[in-house]
Structure 1
Amino acid sequence: MSTSSHPPNRFSLAYASFMVRRPGVVLLVILALLAASVWGASKLTINSNQLDLISQELPEVKEVKRIIDMVGGSGYLMLALRGSDEPTLKRVADDLAAQIQADKENVRFLTYKLPVEFVQENMVLFVKTEDLAEGKRRIMAYMKDQLRRSNPFYIELKKTEPVKLELQDLIDKYSSVGKKSIRDDYYISQDRKMMMMLIKPMWDTNELGKSKAYVEKLTQDLAEYSKTNAAGVKLVEDYDLMGDAKTVAYGFTGSYKTAVDDSYAIEESLGPVAVIAFLAILAITIAFFRKWAPTVIVVSGMVIGTLITMGFTYATVGELNMITSILGGILMGFGIDFGIHFIFRTRLELGAGKPYDVAIRDAIINAGRPALVSAVVTAGSFMVLMVSDFRGFSQFGFLAGCGTLILGFTLFAWSPALLALAGRINPTLPQRLIGVMQPPAATNASGKEVRFPRPRLLLGVSTVIVVLVCAAAVPWNSSDPAPGQKLSFFERIQRGVGFNYNTRALIPEGQPSVRLQDEISARFQISSDPIAVYTKTLEEAKQVYEELTGHPEKYKSIDQVVSIYTFVPPPEIAKANRKILDEWEEELKEIDVAALPPEMQEKAALFKKMLSAQPFDVHGVPDIYANQFRHLPTTKPENHGYLTFIYPSVDLWDGKLMLQFADETSIIKTADGKEFRAAGAAQLYARLARIVLADGKLTVLLVSLWILVMHFADFRSVPLALASVIPLTVGLAMMLGFMSLFDLRLNFMNIIILPILLGFGVSHGLYLLHRFLEGTSPVVALRSVGAAVASSTLTAVAGFAALLAAKHNGLKSMGLVATIGLFTTLVVSFTVLAAVMQLLHDQRVRKSGKPPSDLASPGATDSETKAA
């Protein structure tokens, strides 16, 4: 009878026997699959449209699509020009505008200046009536004083100071509409050193590939202009330089550019990361095997399995996205685990003196069961992500889950088939290729069983350390620190591991487009991109505008609202102001303009126009202003209407503030009870952030239940099932504790690591417990498969640790969290689980009534016993 608690079933015997008897057929099938997969993988493309990754039925997505159809979306590609010479800035902007607008294939429209004459002439209808009256009083006092002093017969008996015309406070108050200055047609900063050009491409911000290609083309066009412009002005892409009369520095930002920079920072990191991961995995495998042949076998199998997975991806999904593009590196780190365990087990079986074919067959059977359970549990843990509403995660879960199974079967077919084929050539060749491992002795020189000394003490000490580390992850103090408050070490760990909502922590440090965006916010006092609210009629647009501007207490995160009604004077104010203007015109009839000083006469024409301003409604707004808020001629009939733009007052890089802004503006209810939805990048990112947070909690719960159910199904014992999950549960808890101790926090990217770590962590307990259940002592079990567990964990660590070389901080955080989690699960396996196994073994010995020397030795699992 076999001493294993799980005798091999017919399927495992048949599978193992087929691998040994028909290695050539197996290899040919794998190579055929590889050829087809390489062809499919070569056709894989990366879909960079992030909008496709979110459910198309979400209201946020539908509204964004409507805005895209109407005006191409709510964001811009911003081209900022910087220089100390204002005329040069304006001349260059005019030249570039003509060049950019001529590109009808890529550019929908360009905004870089807006005539302000209409607004200047009618501004008197917008100002508060009391301010207009005060302005009238000051101007009339000044004019009368000037007339009096210019009179040649004016005699001043007592010297008085001339009346000064001080209007700066009123001018500053009404010098802009929204944040656009009415002093200048151009979009130029108050210090006259930066010019903004707002480009609306023919696609929306989510089509990253097109945006990237256009920025590259525009950069080439600017380089050509720099060489050929008649004024000899040199253009330089620089995010710090201040230009002059002969040099203009430029840079790109806006939602189009920041989205491209963030996503392609991830993509550009993947190549170096994959190379580093591959080399590290290769080095670790060689170090543990100490031979080239087994390394070549498992690494080649890993590469083949990964390529077959890529072919499977093409056959099922058809393309990669910005999330699934990291699939290959993760699968390599996880997948090689199966080959390592097979080779180590084969060396052990060969070390027991078995012929090569029996050793290969028994290795498949003995290592195959925990490998199969591990593959199924890990694959299921990945596939749990399919519940996500975010298609990036759901597709990743599906492909990573299927890829885990593919790699498991590939390595448990490729590796044994190669060794079996080598054995056919020469029966001693497999042993020479991979080496042998003598089964660890169950007893020492004196005949006593080798055991972990004082397992209860080891378990107690380990438990105390684990509890202390895990306690650091618990938020004992839930209060938020005061802004700018620097917490001490003990104050910090009282708040637990925490979650970092600031998405600036995820992007590459010093990202030029983000720095430029901050500079624009400071110079123009405006956020880079607005969100938009669609209304079908002008009346609805008016209701939305009045709701948003009339209730600042409800919309605390809104900085400004820009609508077609921004250019329409409030009827009550316009009527009251017109009355003052009529009175003013009557008073001015008594003044001879020709008698005024020359500098005042020059402004008289504009002044007269301002005095003649008449109230007007929305239909009096010139098209050059109104067209900013109307649909384009190409818009579908069902999307005809008007847009109201909302600019945030908060930093949208801060996730909490972004969620607040999205909550305040997602549904706008007007006075008559109608509801309107805002649409834009902020709304989409807020929805995605909530999906990620909810999915992080749900997937951890589902993965935990899945693991427990599968482990119970495998062991048919609650104590053994619980013992097998000790490494992953305790290891994960310790990971969170160490994160708190080292001031590391979870974020929107690394939170997805938690279910992945749970899925991979099952292998530690599975391999150790299955070897232990073959009848060996814990020490023998650990010495038999401990090296395989350690090496497979370190290869996974190498895969994730390679992410630390990425430029993208989000990827770095994923790599760091995964590395800590994998190390803690490994340490727990060799301490806490080892002590638990020793206690279980002692209990098993006591129940058997036999001394340790009577228990089956590691070599008892020979072919005859297995066949029984």
Structure 2
Amino acid sequence: MSGNPSSHPPPRLALAYAEMLVRRPGTVMLVLLLLLGISVWGTSKLTINSNQLDLISQDLQEVKDVKRVIDMVGGSGFFMVALRGDDEATIKKVADDLAVMVGNDKEHARSVTYKIPVEFVQNNMVLFVKTEDLAEGKRRIMAFLKDQIRRANPFYIEIKKTEPVKLDLQDLVDKYSSVGNKSIADDYYISPDRKMVMLLIKPMWDTNQIGQTKQYVDKLRVDLEQYSKSNAAGVQLVEDYYKMGDKKTVAYGFTGSYKTAVDDSYAIEESLQPVTIIALVAIFAITIAFFRKWAPTLIVVSGTVAGTLYTLGFTYATLGELNMITSILGGILMGFGIDYGIHFIFRTRLELGAGKPYDVAIRDAVINAGRPALVSAVVVAGSFYVLMVSEFKGFSQFGFLAGTGTLMLGFTLFSWCPAMLALAGRRNPELPQKLIGVMKPPPTNNASGKELRIPRPGLVLAVGCVIVAVVCGAAIPWKSGEPPADAGFFARLPYGVRFNYNTRALMPANQPSVVLQDEINARFKIASDPLAIYTKDLAETEALYKELTADPKKRPAISQVMSLFTFVPPEGISQANAKILEEWQEELKEIDVKALPPETQEKAALFFKMLEARPFDVHNVPEIYASQFRHLPTTSPENHGYLTFIYPSVDLWDGKQMLQFADQTRSIKGMVTPGKFTQGGPTGAPVEKEFRAAGATQLYASLARMVLKDAKLTVILTALWILVMHFADFRNAKLALASVIPLTVGLAMMMGFMALFDLRLNFMNIIILPILLGFGVSHGLYLLHRFLEGTSPLVALRSVGAAVVSSTLTAVAGFAALLVAGHNGLRSMGIVACIGLITTLLVSFTVLAAVMQLMHDKRQKDAGRSSEGGSASGGDTSSTRAA
């Protein structure tokens, strides 16, 4: 290579490109600036698509199921408004007013539900209770009534004092006081302690359209503030997720699948704003500290910004938009991309330090630093491109853009920086040296004339291997399962590095919508958003309901099933109960209601009305109930049918429990009697039918499995890609393996340190692994390429070591900035990345350095033997190969 007489001549293409940068820097800069202008225009047109459903393959059955539910009822969940206060009348009055206000907003709200008349259910509840419970209730009531009539008789004389018969039905009332978890004692969706009322709003869009939900939240806040100022009762509304209101104050809060989706997405976006500023400041500080000058920092950073803008312009030209994942593309590319500019500047300083003119120094820097930079860019880009195999578009699009962006940044910085320095040199040949400084080539020998070397490389390697083995051993799960919650360090250590399935741990601590959701779950004993199961007719709906309610132990993750048939009394029970009711009515004919005490007479009318209840079928369910389970009038004909809603008994924030619930509801088989509810009656024997649950849980479960599968696949593919490219670069298996030592050992040690400090992999930070594999390539590449120019390992370390450290620390700074993020998932990504980058750097300067010294010693011995053999035979020993 150029700059080393014993090296092979540079490739013609590399030499021609380097010559062009030096001879025509003005033309190069003009082209770059023209492209920059076009890219800035494209970047200004970019928008962020917040529809998360678009990031999942539309061919997935889970996506098709959710789209059908959305078409049927307008969305797969609810936007929930909770009103809290000590005064029941006040919160009910506010609920009435807000329901009217929200319902009149036809642009945003499809419907609002906050109360359902319960009279029908109250009057017919006697048909739903178990027959033995009805008989027991009859016995108690008749004993009470007969005792009351006897005591009301003016001629009643009690010879021996007895206690009146007490009517205690509380145990039976509690048993049958609700349909599902909705109380039948009150029309309102009010908690049992009478301190919270819920409004369930169905917006005109689905949960994945985050931008529209955010706008609606802002609008609701304005509307509620206006109501607080203008309502006649003078009630003040306060958005508060912890305090309780009183007679004049109602605390409100937003939650439900719509709000939690918005909060999580915007928590990431809001976290990235300060992170970006901190990262940029840290990168500036690090580059200035290593360069000791402002000029090289400005040159490199401006080139990095330009390369990033090229990538964003390319994004507009190819995809037309960003998504919630690719929206962080710019920050990541700047952290990685600056690496190429740093290596170029350091190499140029080294070439200038060798006494070369500025144009020769720039040319040689492009050639000498360009090859490892090119290999590094190709390998890193390939590591990103590997993500394109993911079924999740968020990852596949990120891989496509980040891979292309890496190549663009490498090309940009090896064009932008040389052209700027060449332009400065044309103005004044001494200017490049003044701008970026010089670095004298490190001495190869000490004062006594002996070659400088890494001392005792064998011992360094042995000690390093022992430390590596100990740390890496901590990552291995010697025991399966989870350690006890209170396990100490040594008790926890055998379990190795573990995966955290709890998605709640990824969210910001005490996120208000999640806090409120937990409170709703505790107060109402029900999850806020159910899954929905589609059935096309009443026969299928009944079959599904019977299957889900026949044996609750079969699907323990389900706590409650709500269906149209929830409001239809079971046929056998209703017939038996109707017989008891008829007999009861006959018995009561002998009882004169007027003979009862006045307070008992008031309840008698309702009681006698309940006795008139007779069995009915699904066609007699009132429309106000039936409409909740039927498609909207606007639904496409192919999606006409019914929905059954199922609620979980498990914490869906826990990934394992979420997957359990998803598995138990993904496929449900029931026996359907065709035509059972048509005019002609059954048209055939029962047949088995499969039903599928749809909703956010099924989508998240599919996504979680995608992430876990894709993470394993991408790590394997990335590792194979790196090995192939390194072998293609060095054409030597030993050198290729040596170059990946920092990468493989560094990441293994990262896993070990995670286990030692009780840090876990999760659904977000696991995607860092293939990225770290790609970036970790640069350490070994730059060091080995400098070593193969014929220098000793110590000279190689002193020549490019500062550039390696600087570029690594800028990447560390970018990821370390994530540690201040309010989003726990982003913070975990920062921690894992920082550990991986630092361990890779340490391995480069210890284990790899020792390996290079041993290789160098062997190289010198082989050269010595070859020289002796050549002298004895009269052969030519004027040249030796560097590797």
- Could you say whether these structures have the same fold, taking a TM-score greater than 0.5 normalized by the shorter chain as the test? yes
Match of 2:861 among 816, 827, 846: 846
Which residue of structure 1 aligns with residue 449 of structure 2?
447
Which residue of structure 2 aligns with residue 857 of structure 1?
none
Give the whole-Å Cα distance in 1 for the aligned partners of 2:281 and 2:778.
23
Q: Is the 8 A contact 1:662 1:686 kept in 2?
A: yes
The Cα shift of 1:24 comes to 0.3
Which residue of structure 2 aligns with residue 110 of structure 1?
112
The Cα shift of 1:3 comes to 5.3
Q: Which amino acid letter does the alignment assign opposite residue 90 of structure 2?
A: T
Which residue of structure 2 aligns with residue 593 of structure 1?
593
Q: Give runs of aligned pairs for residues 64-463 of structure 1, distance below 5 A.
A: 64-463=66-465
Q: Which amino acid letter does the alignment assign opposite residue 717 of structure 2?
A: L
Which residue of structure 2 aligns with residue 532 of structure 1?
532
Which residue of structure 2 aligns with residue 830 of structure 1?
845
Q: Which amino acid letter does the alignment assign opposite residue 477 of structure 1?
A: K
The Cα shift of 1:850 comes to 7.8
CA deviation map 1:557-597 (0-9, x unaligned) = 00000000000000100000000000100000000000011
The secondary structure found in structure 2 opposite 1:20 is helix
Q: Is the 8 A contact 2:505 2:824 kept in 1?
A: yes
Are 1:786 and 2:801 counterparts? yes
Give the whole-Å Cα distance in 1 for the aligned partners of 2:798 and 2:741.
19
Give the whole-Å Cα distance in 2 for the aligned partners of 1:850 and 1:246.
97
Match of 1:716 among 717, 731, 736: 731
Q: Which amino acid letter does the alignment assign opposite residue 528 of structure 2?
A: S
Q: Is the 8 A contact 1:12 1:365 kept in 2?
A: yes
The Cα shift of 1:4 comes to 6.1
Q: Which amino acid letter does the alignment assign opposite residue 461 of structure 1?
A: V
CA deviation map 1:407-437 (0-9, x unaligned) = 0000000000001111111111111111100
Q: Is the 8 A contact 1:73 1:680 kept in 2?
A: no
Which residue of structure 1 aligns with residue 579 of structure 2?
579
Q: Is the 8 A contact 2:483 2:495 kept in 1?
A: no
Q: Is the 8 A contact 2:295 2:435 kept in 1?
A: yes
The Cα shift of 1:271 comes to 1.6
Q: Which amino acid letter does the alignment assign opposite residue 202 of structure 2?
A: K
CA shift in 2, pair 1:603/1:376, >3 Å: same
The Cα shift of 1:5 comes to 5.5
CA deviation map 1:196-232 (0-9, x unaligned) = 0000000010000000100110111000000000000
Q: Which amino acid letter does the alignment assign opposite residue 394 of structure 2?
A: G
The secondary structure found in structure 2 opposite 1:673 is strand
Which residue of structure 2 aligns with residue 546 of structure 1?
546
CA shift in 2, pair 1:6/1:505, >3 Å: farther
The secondary structure found in structure 2 opposite 1:603 is helix
Q: Is the 8 A contact 1:3 1:774 kept in 2?
A: no
Give the whole-Å Cα distance in 1 for the aligned partners of 2:402 and 2:182.
50
Q: Is the 8 A contact 1:331 1:404 kept in 2?
A: yes
Which residue of structure 1 aligns with residue 13 of structure 2?
11
Give the whole-Å Cα distance in 2 for the aligned partners of 1:302 and 1:162.
91
The Cα shift of 1:7 comes to 3.5
Which residue of structure 1 aligns with residue 684 of structure 2?
none
TM-score, structure 1 length as denominator?
0.97
Give the whole-Å Cα distance in 2 for the aligned partners of 1:457 and 1:551.
67
Give the whole-Å Cα distance in 2 for the aligned partners of 1:586 and 1:607.
14
Q: Is the 8 A contact 1:520 1:526 kept in 2?
A: yes
The secondary structure found in structure 1 opposite 2:721 is helix
Give the whole-Å Cα distance in 1 for the aligned partners of 2:545 and 2:447.
89
Q: Give runs of aligned pairs for residues 609-688 of structure 1, distance below 5 A.
A: 609-671=609-671, 672-688=687-703
CA shift in 2, pair 1:851/1:418, >3 Å: farther
Give the whole-Å Cα distance in 2 for the aligned partners of 1:109 and 1:523.
24
Give the whole-Å Cα distance in 1 for the aligned partners of 2:634 and 2:49.
26
Q: Is the 8 A contact 1:83 1:193 kept in 2?
A: yes
CA shift in 2, pair 1:6/1:217, >3 Å: farther
Q: Is the 8 A contact 2:85 2:251 kept in 1?
A: yes
Residues 353-362 or 154-163, more deviating:
154-163
CA deviation map 1:69-102 (0-9, x unaligned) = 0001231011000000000011000000000000
Residues 68-77 or 254-263, more deviating:
68-77
Give the whole-Å Cα distance in 1 for the aligned partners of 2:254 and 2:814.
34
Give the whole-Å Cα distance in 1 for the aligned partners of 2:66 and 2:562.
18
Which residue of structure 1 aligns with residue 769 of structure 2?
754
Which residue of structure 2 aligns with residue 862 of structure 1?
none
Residues 453-462 or 269-278, more deviating:
269-278
The secondary structure found in structure 2 opposite 1:183 is coil
Give the whole-Å Cα distance in 2 for the aligned partners of 1:667 and 1:353.
75
Match of 1:465 among 454, 459, 467: 467
The Cα shift of 1:553 comes to 2.3
Q: Is the 8 A contact 1:40 1:315 kept in 2?
A: yes
Q: Which amino acid letter does the alignment assign opposite residue 280 of structure 2?
A: F
CA shift in 2, pair 1:554/1:773, >3 Å: same
The Cα shift of 1:6 comes to 5.2
Which residue of structure 2 aligns with residue 777 of structure 1?
792
Q: Which amino acid letter does the alignment assign opposite residue 158 of structure 1?
A: K
CA deviation map 1:323-352 (0-9, x unaligned) = 001111110110000000000000000001
Q: Which amino acid letter does the alignment assign opposite residue 456 of structure 1?
A: G
Are 1:738 and 2:753 counterparts? yes
Q: Is the 8 A contact 1:493 1:741 kept in 2?
A: yes
Give the whole-Å Cα distance in 2 for the aligned partners of 1:736 and 1:775.
35
Q: Which amino acid letter does the alignment assign opposite residue 473 of structure 1?
A: A
The secondary structure found in structure 1 opposite 2:526 is coil
Give the whole-Å Cα distance in 2 for the aligned partners of 1:296 and 1:113.
64
Q: Is the 8 A contact 1:3 1:775 kept in 2?
A: no
The Cα shift of 1:113 comes to 0.2
Are 1:52 and 2:54 counterparts? yes
The secondary structure found in structure 2 opposite 1:674 is strand
The Cα shift of 1:240 comes to 1.1
The Cα shift of 1:851 comes to 12
Which residue of structure 1 aligns with residue 508 of structure 2?
508
CA deviation map 1:473-499 (0-9, x unaligned) = 0000013345xx311111211101100
Q: Is the 8 A contact 2:75 2:203 kept in 1?
A: no
Give the whole-Å Cα distance in 1 for the aligned partners of 2:483 and 2:497.
14
The secondary structure found in structure 1 opposite 2:735 is helix
CA deviation map 1:228-258 (0-9, x unaligned) = 0000000000011110110000000000000
The secondary structure found in structure 1 opposite 2:643 is strand
CA shift in 2, pair 1:88/1:187, >3 Å: same
The Cα shift of 1:38 comes to 0.4
Percent identity between matched residues is: 77
Q: CA RMSD in A?
A: 1.3
Give the whole-Å Cα distance in 1 for the aligned partners of 2:865 and 2:17.
36
Q: Is the 8 A contact 1:845 1:851 kept in 2?
A: no
The Cα shift of 1:825 comes to 0.2
Which residue of structure 1 aligns with residue 877 of structure 2?
none
Q: Give runs of aligned pairs for residues 600-611 of structure 1, distance below 5 A.
A: 600-611=600-611
CA deviation map 1:392-411 (0-9, x unaligned) = 00000000000000000000
Unpaired stretches in structure 1, ≥5 consecutive residues: 853-864
The secondary structure found in structure 2 opposite 1:553 is helix
Give the whole-Å Cα distance in 2 for the aligned partners of 1:568 and 1:681.
29
Q: Is the 8 A contact 1:125 1:615 kept in 2?
A: yes
Which residue of structure 2 aligns with residue 860 of structure 1?
none
